[in-house]
Amino acid sequence: MENESNPSITMITVDRATSCTILTRSDGKEARFPLDPSPFEQTSVIARLDFTPAFSALLATTLSGDQILFELPLETATDQPAGRLVVYLDQNQWSILSNANCCAPKSSEADRAAARRLREWVDKRQIVLPASAGHYYETGKRFSTDKRYALGLTILQYSRGWQMRDPLQVRRNELHDAFCHRLDRPDRVRSAPVFTLAPDTLYSPTRSAGIEITPVAQDDLVFQTKALLTASVSIDTMLDTQRVEEGPDTGWTAASQRFSDWLDGLDQDSQQKRRAIDIHLVKDLQRELAEEAAAANVPNELFRQWGFKGWTQDIGRSPALGLFREMLHSRHLNKGTTWRPNNLTDMMYLSCAAGYADLVVCEKHMRDPLQHGLKRMGSSTQVYRRLTDAATAIEKLLETSSVSVSPAQ
Protein backbone atom coordinates (compact mmCIF):
# COMPACT_ATOMS: atom_id res chain seq x y z
CA MET A 1 0.00 0.00 0.00
CA GLU A 2 1.27 3.45 -0.92
CA ASN A 3 2.37 5.73 1.87
CA GLU A 4 -0.34 8.42 1.97
CA SER A 5 2.07 10.87 3.57
CA ASN A 6 4.27 10.69 0.48
CA PRO A 7 1.93 10.88 -2.54
CA SER A 8 3.36 10.52 -6.04
CA ILE A 9 2.56 12.05 -9.41
CA THR A 10 0.23 9.71 -11.30
CA MET A 11 -0.65 11.88 -14.31
CA ILE A 12 0.88 14.79 -16.17
CA THR A 13 -1.49 16.57 -18.54
CA VAL A 14 -0.89 19.32 -21.07
CA ASP A 15 -4.32 20.77 -21.80
CA ARG A 16 -4.89 23.12 -24.71
CA ALA A 17 -8.37 24.28 -23.69
CA THR A 18 -7.29 25.58 -20.28
CA SER A 19 -3.74 26.39 -21.44
CA CYS A 20 -2.36 24.57 -18.41
CA THR A 21 -0.02 21.79 -17.41
CA ILE A 22 -1.80 19.73 -14.78
CA LEU A 23 0.00 17.46 -12.29
CA THR A 24 -2.31 14.93 -10.65
CA ARG A 25 -1.20 13.21 -7.45
CA SER A 26 -2.08 9.76 -6.13
CA ASP A 27 -4.23 11.40 -3.45
CA GLY A 28 -6.37 13.09 -6.13
CA LYS A 29 -5.01 16.59 -5.64
CA GLU A 30 -3.95 18.70 -8.64
CA ALA A 31 -1.47 21.45 -9.33
CA ARG A 32 -1.94 23.66 -12.39
CA PHE A 33 0.73 25.69 -14.14
CA PRO A 34 -0.06 28.09 -17.00
CA LEU A 35 1.25 27.37 -20.49
CA ASP A 36 2.76 30.69 -21.50
CA PRO A 37 3.38 30.80 -24.35
CA SER A 38 1.18 27.99 -25.60
CA PRO A 39 3.09 25.17 -27.34
CA PHE A 40 0.19 24.56 -29.71
CA GLU A 41 0.47 26.15 -33.15
CA GLN A 42 -2.66 27.17 -35.07
CA THR A 43 -2.15 24.26 -37.48
CA SER A 44 -1.94 21.73 -34.63
CA VAL A 45 -4.90 19.40 -34.01
CA ILE A 46 -3.71 18.22 -30.59
CA ALA A 47 -6.13 19.08 -27.78
CA ARG A 48 -4.56 17.23 -24.87
CA LEU A 49 -1.53 15.17 -23.90
CA ASP A 50 -1.62 12.76 -20.94
CA PHE A 51 1.44 10.99 -19.60
CA THR A 52 1.24 8.25 -17.01
CA PRO A 53 4.70 7.41 -15.61
CA ALA A 54 3.49 4.09 -14.18
CA PHE A 55 2.43 2.77 -17.60
CA SER A 56 5.24 4.23 -19.70
CA ALA A 57 2.73 5.60 -22.19
CA LEU A 58 1.63 8.86 -23.77
CA LEU A 59 -2.00 9.43 -24.70
CA ALA A 60 -2.78 12.20 -27.20
CA THR A 61 -6.31 13.43 -27.83
CA THR A 62 -7.11 15.47 -30.95
CA LEU A 63 -9.60 18.29 -31.38
CA SER A 64 -11.88 15.75 -33.08
CA GLY A 65 -11.79 13.49 -30.04
CA ASP A 66 -9.60 10.80 -31.58
CA GLN A 67 -7.01 9.23 -29.29
CA ILE A 68 -3.47 7.97 -29.97
CA LEU A 69 -1.52 5.78 -27.55
CA PHE A 70 2.27 5.77 -27.81
CA GLU A 71 4.53 3.36 -25.97
CA LEU A 72 7.55 5.10 -24.49
CA PRO A 73 11.12 4.09 -23.62
CA LEU A 74 11.69 5.41 -20.13
CA GLU A 75 14.91 3.73 -19.05
CA THR A 76 16.97 2.80 -22.11
CA ALA A 77 17.24 3.65 -25.78
CA THR A 78 18.28 0.12 -26.73
CA ASP A 79 14.79 -1.36 -26.57
CA GLN A 80 13.71 -4.20 -28.84
CA PRO A 81 10.29 -5.47 -29.96
CA ALA A 82 10.72 -8.19 -27.27
CA GLY A 83 9.61 -11.11 -29.41
CA ARG A 84 6.89 -9.29 -31.31
CA LEU A 85 6.74 -9.81 -35.06
CA VAL A 86 7.80 -6.73 -37.02
CA VAL A 87 5.58 -6.02 -40.03
CA TYR A 88 6.55 -3.11 -42.29
CA LEU A 89 3.83 -1.62 -44.49
CA ASP A 90 4.69 0.40 -47.59
CA GLN A 91 2.82 3.69 -47.94
CA ASN A 92 0.16 2.28 -50.28
CA GLN A 93 -0.63 -0.41 -47.70
CA TRP A 94 -1.13 2.21 -45.00
CA SER A 95 -3.62 3.89 -47.35
CA ILE A 96 -5.49 0.60 -47.74
CA LEU A 97 -5.43 0.11 -43.98
CA SER A 98 -6.66 3.66 -43.41
CA ASN A 99 -9.58 3.23 -45.82
CA ALA A 100 -10.47 -0.07 -44.17
CA ASN A 101 -10.14 1.42 -40.69
CA CYS A 102 -12.51 4.24 -41.67
CA CYS A 103 -14.86 1.81 -43.49
CA ALA A 104 -14.44 3.86 -46.67
CA PRO A 105 -16.77 2.78 -49.51
CA LYS A 106 -13.87 1.66 -51.71
CA SER A 107 -12.44 -0.67 -49.06
CA SER A 108 -13.38 -4.34 -49.23
CA GLU A 109 -14.75 -6.44 -46.39
CA ALA A 110 -11.60 -8.56 -46.60
CA ASP A 111 -9.45 -5.46 -46.06
CA ARG A 112 -11.65 -4.35 -43.16
CA ALA A 113 -11.32 -7.78 -41.56
CA ALA A 114 -7.54 -7.63 -42.00
CA ALA A 115 -7.49 -4.17 -40.39
CA ARG A 116 -9.38 -5.47 -37.36
CA ARG A 117 -7.00 -8.40 -36.97
CA LEU A 118 -3.94 -6.15 -37.22
CA ARG A 119 -5.35 -3.80 -34.57
CA GLU A 120 -6.05 -6.75 -32.27
CA TRP A 121 -2.49 -8.07 -32.64
CA VAL A 122 -1.05 -4.60 -32.05
CA ASP A 123 -3.16 -4.10 -28.92
CA LYS A 124 -2.15 -7.52 -27.61
CA ARG A 125 1.50 -6.62 -28.23
CA GLN A 126 2.03 -9.51 -30.63
CA ILE A 127 3.15 -7.45 -33.62
CA VAL A 128 4.81 -4.11 -34.30
CA LEU A 129 3.80 -1.93 -37.27
CA PRO A 130 6.59 0.66 -37.31
CA ALA A 131 6.30 4.08 -38.92
CA SER A 132 9.20 5.58 -40.87
CA ALA A 133 10.26 9.03 -41.99
CA GLY A 134 9.08 8.00 -45.45
CA HIS A 135 5.56 7.52 -44.12
CA TYR A 136 5.61 10.97 -42.52
CA TYR A 137 6.76 12.59 -45.74
CA GLU A 138 4.36 10.74 -48.03
CA THR A 139 1.43 11.45 -45.70
CA GLY A 140 2.30 15.09 -45.16
CA LYS A 141 2.33 15.95 -48.87
CA ARG A 142 -1.21 14.70 -49.59
CA PHE A 143 -3.47 17.48 -50.83
CA SER A 144 -6.71 16.64 -48.99
CA THR A 145 -6.57 17.77 -45.36
CA ASP A 146 -9.27 15.28 -44.30
CA LYS A 147 -7.61 12.32 -46.05
CA ARG A 148 -4.23 13.37 -44.71
CA TYR A 149 -5.63 13.43 -41.18
CA ALA A 150 -7.32 10.02 -41.53
CA LEU A 151 -4.18 8.43 -42.94
CA GLY A 152 -1.89 10.01 -40.34
CA LEU A 153 -4.23 8.99 -37.54
CA THR A 154 -4.20 5.38 -38.74
CA ILE A 155 -0.39 5.26 -38.92
CA LEU A 156 -0.07 6.73 -35.43
CA GLN A 157 -2.71 4.50 -33.84
CA TYR A 158 -1.36 1.29 -35.33
CA SER A 159 2.35 2.09 -34.90
CA ARG A 160 1.94 3.08 -31.20
CA GLY A 161 5.23 4.99 -31.27
CA TRP A 162 7.30 2.25 -32.89
CA GLN A 163 9.49 3.53 -35.68
CA MET A 164 12.15 2.41 -38.10
CA ARG A 165 15.54 4.05 -37.78
CA ASP A 166 16.46 6.31 -40.70
CA PRO A 167 17.80 4.08 -43.53
CA LEU A 168 20.63 6.59 -44.07
CA GLN A 169 21.76 5.96 -40.50
CA VAL A 170 21.21 2.20 -40.72
CA ARG A 171 23.50 1.92 -43.74
CA ARG A 172 26.17 3.98 -41.94
CA ASN A 173 25.86 1.76 -38.87
CA GLU A 174 26.20 -1.33 -41.03
CA LEU A 175 29.38 -0.04 -42.65
CA HIS A 176 30.83 1.06 -39.31
CA ASP A 177 30.10 -2.30 -37.68
CA ALA A 178 31.48 -4.21 -40.69
CA PHE A 179 34.77 -2.32 -40.34
CA CYS A 180 34.83 -3.03 -36.60
CA HIS A 181 34.38 -6.75 -37.25
CA ARG A 182 37.16 -6.68 -39.85
CA LEU A 183 39.43 -5.18 -37.20
CA ASP A 184 38.23 -7.73 -34.61
CA ARG A 185 36.80 -5.01 -32.39
CA PRO A 186 33.30 -6.33 -31.55
CA ASP A 187 33.16 -4.04 -28.52
CA ARG A 188 33.16 -1.00 -30.84
CA VAL A 189 30.07 -1.90 -32.88
CA ARG A 190 27.00 0.30 -32.60
CA SER A 191 24.41 -2.47 -32.88
CA ALA A 192 21.63 0.11 -32.81
CA PRO A 193 18.19 -1.54 -33.15
CA VAL A 194 16.47 -0.73 -36.44
CA PHE A 195 12.94 -0.91 -35.00
CA THR A 196 12.77 1.04 -31.79
CA LEU A 197 10.91 3.39 -29.45
CA ALA A 198 14.04 5.45 -28.84
CA PRO A 199 13.76 9.19 -29.53
CA ASP A 200 15.45 10.93 -32.46
CA THR A 201 15.75 7.86 -34.67
CA LEU A 202 13.39 8.78 -37.53
CA TYR A 203 16.00 11.08 -39.04
CA SER A 204 19.75 10.63 -39.24
CA PRO A 205 21.97 13.42 -37.85
CA THR A 206 23.37 13.68 -41.40
CA ARG A 207 20.07 15.32 -42.41
CA SER A 208 20.72 18.22 -40.03
CA ALA A 209 22.06 20.51 -42.77
CA GLY A 210 25.59 20.64 -41.40
CA ILE A 211 24.52 21.32 -37.82
CA GLU A 212 26.89 19.47 -35.51
CA ILE A 213 25.09 17.47 -32.84
CA THR A 214 27.20 16.79 -29.77
CA PRO A 215 26.10 13.81 -27.65
CA VAL A 216 25.44 14.65 -24.01
CA ALA A 217 25.24 12.41 -20.98
CA GLN A 218 21.64 11.64 -20.06
CA ASP A 219 20.16 10.57 -16.76
CA ASP A 220 16.75 8.89 -16.61
CA LEU A 221 14.85 12.17 -16.23
CA VAL A 222 16.58 13.80 -19.18
CA PHE A 223 15.97 10.76 -21.37
CA GLN A 224 12.33 10.52 -20.26
CA THR A 225 11.76 14.19 -21.08
CA LYS A 226 13.40 13.76 -24.48
CA ALA A 227 11.28 10.68 -25.21
CA LEU A 228 8.08 12.54 -24.29
CA LEU A 229 9.01 15.56 -26.37
CA THR A 230 9.94 13.47 -29.41
CA ALA A 231 6.74 11.42 -29.21
CA SER A 232 4.59 14.55 -28.86
CA VAL A 233 6.30 16.25 -31.78
CA SER A 234 5.94 13.13 -33.94
CA ILE A 235 2.20 12.99 -33.32
CA ASP A 236 1.77 16.73 -33.84
CA THR A 237 3.82 16.69 -37.05
CA MET A 238 1.95 13.80 -38.61
CA LEU A 239 -1.45 15.41 -38.00
CA ASP A 240 -0.54 19.04 -38.72
CA THR A 241 -3.09 20.64 -41.04
CA GLN A 242 -0.42 22.40 -43.12
CA ARG A 243 0.58 20.36 -46.15
CA VAL A 244 4.25 19.51 -46.68
CA GLU A 245 5.64 20.71 -50.01
CA GLU A 246 7.37 18.39 -52.46
CA GLY A 247 11.13 18.19 -52.04
CA PRO A 248 13.55 19.43 -54.72
CA ASP A 249 14.59 17.24 -57.61
CA THR A 250 17.98 15.80 -56.65
CA GLY A 251 18.72 14.52 -60.15
CA TRP A 252 18.91 10.91 -58.92
CA THR A 253 16.11 9.72 -61.22
CA ALA A 254 17.69 11.13 -64.39
CA ALA A 255 21.14 9.81 -63.43
CA SER A 256 19.73 6.33 -62.75
CA GLN A 257 17.91 6.35 -66.07
CA ARG A 258 21.05 7.33 -67.97
CA PHE A 259 23.01 4.58 -66.24
CA SER A 260 20.34 1.93 -66.99
CA ASP A 261 20.14 3.02 -70.63
CA TRP A 262 23.94 2.83 -70.88
CA LEU A 263 23.96 -0.68 -69.42
CA ASP A 264 21.25 -1.77 -71.87
CA GLY A 265 23.56 -0.84 -74.74
CA LEU A 266 26.58 -2.78 -73.44
CA ASP A 267 27.54 -6.07 -75.05
CA GLN A 268 28.36 -7.72 -71.70
CA ASP A 269 27.04 -10.59 -69.60
CA SER A 270 25.18 -10.08 -66.33
CA GLN A 271 28.24 -10.60 -64.15
CA GLN A 272 30.17 -7.88 -65.97
CA LYS A 273 27.19 -5.57 -65.63
CA ARG A 274 26.88 -6.38 -61.93
CA ARG A 275 30.44 -5.19 -61.43
CA ALA A 276 29.61 -1.94 -63.24
CA ILE A 277 26.60 -1.48 -60.94
CA ASP A 278 28.78 -2.13 -57.90
CA ILE A 279 31.22 0.53 -59.05
CA HIS A 280 28.29 2.91 -59.49
CA LEU A 281 27.10 2.11 -55.94
CA VAL A 282 30.52 2.42 -54.31
CA LYS A 283 30.96 5.80 -55.95
CA ASP A 284 27.63 6.87 -54.47
CA LEU A 285 28.72 5.58 -51.04
CA GLN A 286 32.25 6.97 -51.08
CA ARG A 287 31.56 9.61 -48.43
CA GLU A 288 29.84 7.14 -46.08
CA LEU A 289 32.63 4.60 -46.59
CA ALA A 290 35.33 7.13 -45.77
CA GLU A 291 33.58 8.70 -42.78
CA GLU A 292 32.57 5.40 -41.17
CA ALA A 293 36.04 3.96 -41.71
CA ALA A 294 37.40 6.98 -39.86
CA ALA A 295 34.80 6.58 -37.11
CA ALA A 296 35.85 2.94 -36.71
CA ASN A 297 39.53 4.02 -36.55
CA VAL A 298 40.52 2.07 -39.65
CA PRO A 299 44.12 2.94 -40.62
CA ASN A 300 44.26 4.71 -43.99
CA GLU A 301 46.65 2.20 -45.48
CA LEU A 302 44.50 -0.75 -44.42
CA PHE A 303 41.40 0.94 -45.83
CA ARG A 304 43.15 1.31 -49.18
CA GLN A 305 44.29 -2.31 -49.07
CA TRP A 306 40.75 -3.54 -48.64
CA GLY A 307 39.85 -1.63 -51.78
CA PHE A 308 36.85 -2.13 -54.03
CA LYS A 309 36.59 -5.89 -53.50
CA GLY A 310 36.66 -5.59 -49.72
CA TRP A 311 34.16 -2.74 -49.66
CA THR A 312 31.67 -4.56 -51.89
CA GLN A 313 31.99 -7.67 -49.70
CA ASP A 314 31.09 -5.61 -46.64
CA ILE A 315 28.20 -4.00 -48.50
CA GLY A 316 26.92 -7.35 -49.73
CA ARG A 317 26.92 -8.87 -46.24
CA SER A 318 24.99 -5.96 -44.69
CA PRO A 319 21.25 -6.73 -44.28
CA ALA A 320 19.86 -3.39 -45.47
CA LEU A 321 22.65 -2.07 -47.67
CA GLY A 322 23.21 -5.50 -49.22
CA LEU A 323 19.55 -5.76 -50.10
CA PHE A 324 19.58 -2.25 -51.57
CA ARG A 325 22.50 -3.40 -53.73
CA GLU A 326 20.56 -6.45 -54.88
CA MET A 327 17.55 -4.31 -55.79
CA LEU A 328 19.83 -2.00 -57.80
CA HIS A 329 21.21 -5.02 -59.65
CA SER A 330 17.74 -6.36 -60.36
CA ARG A 331 16.35 -3.09 -61.70
CA HIS A 332 19.43 -2.02 -63.67
CA LEU A 333 19.80 -5.46 -65.26
CA ASN A 334 16.16 -5.45 -66.36
CA LYS A 335 16.31 -4.03 -69.89
CA GLY A 336 13.99 -1.13 -70.52
CA THR A 337 13.61 -0.19 -66.85
CA THR A 338 11.94 3.18 -66.35
CA TRP A 339 13.03 5.07 -63.26
CA ARG A 340 10.57 7.31 -61.41
CA PRO A 341 11.18 9.91 -58.67
CA ASN A 342 9.71 7.76 -55.89
CA ASN A 343 11.84 4.70 -56.74
CA LEU A 344 14.77 5.82 -54.59
CA THR A 345 12.51 6.39 -51.56
CA ASP A 346 10.82 3.02 -52.05
CA MET A 347 14.11 1.15 -52.43
CA MET A 348 15.79 2.85 -49.48
CA TYR A 349 12.98 2.21 -47.03
CA LEU A 350 11.91 -1.22 -48.28
CA SER A 351 15.44 -2.63 -48.36
CA CYS A 352 16.05 -1.35 -44.83
CA ALA A 353 12.76 -2.80 -43.59
CA ALA A 354 13.16 -6.15 -45.32
CA GLY A 355 16.70 -6.46 -44.03
CA TYR A 356 15.43 -6.60 -40.45
CA ALA A 357 11.64 -7.11 -40.35
CA ASP A 358 9.70 -10.37 -40.34
CA LEU A 359 7.22 -9.33 -43.05
CA VAL A 360 6.99 -6.54 -45.61
CA VAL A 361 3.91 -5.57 -47.62
CA CYS A 362 4.40 -3.46 -50.75
CA GLU A 363 3.41 -2.96 -54.39
CA LYS A 364 4.26 -5.57 -57.02
CA HIS A 365 6.81 -3.45 -58.90
CA MET A 366 8.94 -3.32 -55.73
CA ARG A 367 8.00 -6.73 -54.35
CA ASP A 368 9.56 -8.65 -57.26
CA PRO A 369 13.11 -7.16 -57.04
CA LEU A 370 12.83 -7.27 -53.24
CA GLN A 371 11.98 -10.97 -53.23
CA HIS A 372 14.74 -11.70 -55.73
CA GLY A 373 17.26 -9.88 -53.56
CA LEU A 374 16.10 -11.62 -50.38
CA LYS A 375 16.47 -14.99 -52.07
CA ARG A 376 20.02 -14.21 -53.24
CA MET A 377 20.93 -13.11 -49.70
CA GLY A 378 19.32 -16.14 -48.06
CA SER A 379 16.95 -14.04 -45.96
CA SER A 380 13.75 -15.44 -44.45
CA THR A 381 11.80 -12.16 -44.57
CA GLN A 382 8.39 -12.67 -46.18
CA VAL A 383 7.10 -10.17 -48.74
CA TYR A 384 3.46 -9.73 -49.77
CA ARG A 385 1.59 -7.34 -52.02
CA ARG A 386 -1.84 -7.68 -50.37
CA LEU A 387 -2.74 -6.78 -46.81
CA THR A 388 -5.12 -9.74 -46.60
CA ASP A 389 -2.39 -12.22 -47.59
CA ALA A 390 -0.02 -10.69 -45.05
CA ALA A 391 -2.66 -11.00 -42.30
CA THR A 392 -3.05 -14.71 -43.06
CA ALA A 393 0.73 -15.17 -42.94
CA ILE A 394 0.99 -13.26 -39.65
CA GLU A 395 -1.67 -15.46 -38.10
CA LYS A 396 0.25 -18.59 -39.09
CA LEU A 397 3.50 -17.19 -37.71
CA LEU A 398 1.84 -16.26 -34.43
CA GLU A 399 0.42 -19.75 -34.10
CA THR A 400 3.86 -21.33 -34.49
CA SER A 401 5.94 -18.72 -32.64
CA SER A 402 6.51 -18.07 -28.96
CA VAL A 403 5.12 -14.52 -29.06
CA SER A 404 3.28 -14.08 -25.79
CA VAL A 405 0.06 -12.16 -25.44
CA SER A 406 0.34 -9.14 -23.14
CA PRO A 407 -2.55 -6.95 -22.07
CA ALA A 408 -2.88 -3.69 -23.97
CA GLN A 409 -1.61 -0.64 -22.18
Complete DSSP assignment for 181-240: HHTT-GGG-----SEE--SS-SS-GGGSTT---------HHHHHHHHHHHHHHHHHHHH-
- Give the number of residues written for the chain: 409
Structure confidence at residue 225 (pLDDT):
85
Structure confidence at residue 52 (pLDDT):
87
Structure confidence at residue 409 (pLDDT):
40
Identify whether 63 is part of a domain: no
Identify whether 337 is part of a domain: yes
Identify whether 141 is part of a domain: yes
Low-confidence ranges of the chain (pLDDT < 50): 1-2, 77, 209-214, 216, 403-409
Identify whether 137 is part of a domain: yes
Identify whether 73 is part of a domain: no
Structure confidence at residue 47 (pLDDT):
97
Q: How many CB atoms lie within 10 A of CB 327?
A: 24
Structure confidence at residue 79 (pLDDT):
59
Structure confidence at residue 405 (pLDDT):
45
CA distances from 168 to 69, 111, 132, 280 (A): 28, 32, 12, 18
Identify whether 233 is part of a domain: no
Query: pLDDT of 126-150, one tens digit each?
Result: 999 999 999 999 999 998 999 999 9
Identify whether 182 is part of a domain: yes
| Total tally of structural domains belonging to the chain | 1
Quote the domain boundaries for residue 281: 80-203+257-409
Identify whether 340 is part of a domain: yes
Half-sphere exposure of 350 (CA within 13 A, CB side): 33
pTM for this entry: 0.92
